[in-house]
Amino acid sequence: MSSPSATAGHAVPPTLEDALALGLTRAEYELVCEKQGGPPNAVELAMYSLLWSEHCAYKHSKRLLRSLPTEGPQVVIGPGENAGAVDVGGGLVCAFKVESHNHPSAVEPFQGAATGVGGIIRDIFALGARPIAVLDSLRFGEPSGARARYLLEGAVSGIAHYGNSIGVPTVGGEVYFEAPYEHNCLINVMALGLARREQLVRSAAAGAGNALVLLGAATGRDGIGGASVLASSELDSAASGAEAGAARGEDMRPTVQVGDPFEEKKLLECSLELLERGLLVSLQDLGAAGLTSAAAEMAAKGRVGIEIDVARVPLRETGMQPWEVMSSESQERMLCVVAPANVGAVLELCEKWEIGGAEIGSVTDGGRVRVLAHGTLVGDAPVRALVDECPLYDLEPQRPPAATYPAPAAVLADEATAAETLIALLGSPNLSSRRALFEHYDAIVQSRTVRRPEQADAAVLALPDGSGLAVSIDGNGRRVAADPYRGTIEAALECAANLACAGAQPLGATNNLNFGNPEKAHIAWQLSESVRGLGEACRALEAPIVGGNVSLYNEGATGAIYPTPVIGMVGRLPDVSRAGRLAFQRAGDEIALVGPFAPALAASELAKLRGEALPEGLPEIELEAVIAAQAAVCEAVRAGALSSAHDIAEGGLAVALAECALAGGLGATVELGEELRHRLSSRPPGPSSGSPARWPLSALYGEGPGGFLLSGQAPALSELGRCTPVATLGTVGGESLRISAPGAELSLALGELGRAHARLVELFA
């Protein structure tokens, strides 16, 4: 972020050109002048440019987000706080949220991803909850490219460094490789925490005369204009490759925050002890836009004013101007409101935990953010103008007349056999084992983790009373690109299906909407349709949105990313000892296909491998039938009636069978007969113009919501037929996977399947 003016607010005020350079439009600058009663000085212009940025103000998405469901019987805190929270029983609440650090990670992947973890963890303990888990959702270009590998390796290292060091387990996540993410990777991180309901704290400032205390690390120039500015504009995608990416990161390094997980660990423990001792009135994380955002938003929520003297802010660099202090996004900092009588006790506790603590200002009743420097006023703006009166923009959506994204290069011939196709899918970047990545992460620290990566469809964490939490994070940008409305519904259903396979019912959801430039008509259409689908799905699932994040302008010279809504969902299961597993457990168990599964090849992983263009739409979804199937599977898992449960997702039925077999070290013999052929070929109608359903490829490798692969004893599987379709497929056993279908036969040893599935491990070993 460049200086608002050469004089930093002294003799010469900033100009319109300064405002434009900071991301404001001409009309917005004129509105700022109107709100201020004249041209703003350097500090004031910096504050407006930050708080009126897309990242902070959501000016192209806020009106859309108001259509989402946010209330439910389990919701304790909904959107508007640092994180949302749901009741999980026993007097406990689970706080959770997902956020992005896309643009900073594209500039400097290690620190961008690391500070993304640090920021979302602060959102959790800012509510008074102890962080208990992290999940990540990542998108990169094809792994054959040098830049994609540079970004991936840096991001995974950054996530592992921060999460492992602070002692919060990384229990799950996902990663996809697609060409549209080549220059604009996505780094979305979800965190969740636990708190006693009565210990939750809000961020609203209150009580004129109360002190404002800054906790944590000293403030520097790192991160000035980082998340708020980078995330509000398109990236320059001209640089490519690992060396170019690194050079570009060096040039833009001042805009990327630098994290210290050990400092955050101390800050976490100090903050929770301050809350436990009742020493804080309110607490707020310093993230994007730093002190400017934290102070103004606390004031807005409490309908009060705030006064800060930047000369009292502990600095680690000399010569910082007031606008720099207010704009800095230095990490590991919290802002709290404290009654004057408790300031001494707060600072004493800071000394105990060896973190910085400084009284930097006070709450006022003037409704303004006043910035002082050694007692001299250097900035003064109305709270409402900064936070509540940013102009909001109506989107102008228009469905594009033709496909927006080029077809991928074909890597699998049309004449490939069923066995060759399964091997290719298992070894493809989007479906192969993630072990090479998640083994960087500590998944069991804190000793709550019951199901970790590749053990179940959802991560499962134990609660003190013997119940459990299941959590999943999902999204599929390619399918959303084909149909933003139905693709987003599918993503929400996939999240809920993962919970069902663990035995959990959804309590609430969070979302991260990653899209391109909303000022373009086709991107506006993608965003509008996606939000419409998200709202419909979450209402049907009774999983209200309790918070989230919007990341726009994810594009550069080569075009936009796939529209990528990422959905995180939390559910509860009454008996954690009965949490579901995806692995086949016992030879002789019967295998069944359960649910209203209607597979199609359009926009599938197989279609990608064959180089097929995206269709213009996906098949219709039998929403009520799919949710009924999820409920039936959930109840069967809870009852202990199943040996394994795995939903059918990318790669279709054959890939799901292979995953269950590999996870359990047990093969299977399966037959898809004529009756099943008829059922799987009768897809719901839809606008899809992609590849037609081709038997047996569609049955083996087609995709769509509503399918579950279960194993167990025959009576238990048959009982599910009361609620949802059930088709017996075969039995568990042996050392190979054998699939027989009209027109296709395959028999592959587990060793061969395993070698294919480990290809990503080999690539990043």
Selected catalytic residue, list 55, 103, 646, 757 = 55
Q: Of all residues in the chain, what percent are helix, strand and coil, respectively (each to 5)?
A: 40, 25, 40
Residues making up the chain, counted from first to last: 765
Selected catalytic residue, list 60, 101, 161, 646 = 101
Q: In this structure, are residues 529 and 494 in contact, taking their beta carbons and an 8 Å threshold?
A: no
Q: Where are the beta strands (DSSP E) in 101-233?
A: 130-140, 170-177, 186-196, 211-216
Residues 610 and 421: their CA atoms lie apart, in Å, by 10
Token pair recorded at residue 455: 């053990």
Q: Where are the beta strands (DSSP E) in 515-588?
A: 545-551, 555-556, 559-560, 564-573
Residues 510 and 571: their CA atoms lie apart, in Å, by 12
Tell me whether residue 55 is one of the annotated catalytic residues.
Answer: yes
Amino acid at 133: A
Angstrom distances, CA of residue 326 to CA of 225, 261, 315: 10, 23, 12
Cis upstream peptide for 340 (omega within 30°)? no
Three-state secondary structure call for residue 342:
helix
Please report, to the nearest 10 degrees, the dihedral formed by the alpha carbons of residues 114, 293, 79, 92 taken in order. 60
The interaxial angle of helices 109-125 and 261-276, nearest 10 deg, is 10
Residues 572 and 87: their CA atoms lie apart, in Å, by 10
Closest to 159 measured CA to CA, from 146, 181, 175, 143: 175
Residues 534 and 363: their CA atoms lie apart, in Å, by 39
Q: Integer distance in angstroms from the first to the last C-alpha of the chain?
A: 38
- Enumerate the active-site residues: 55, 101
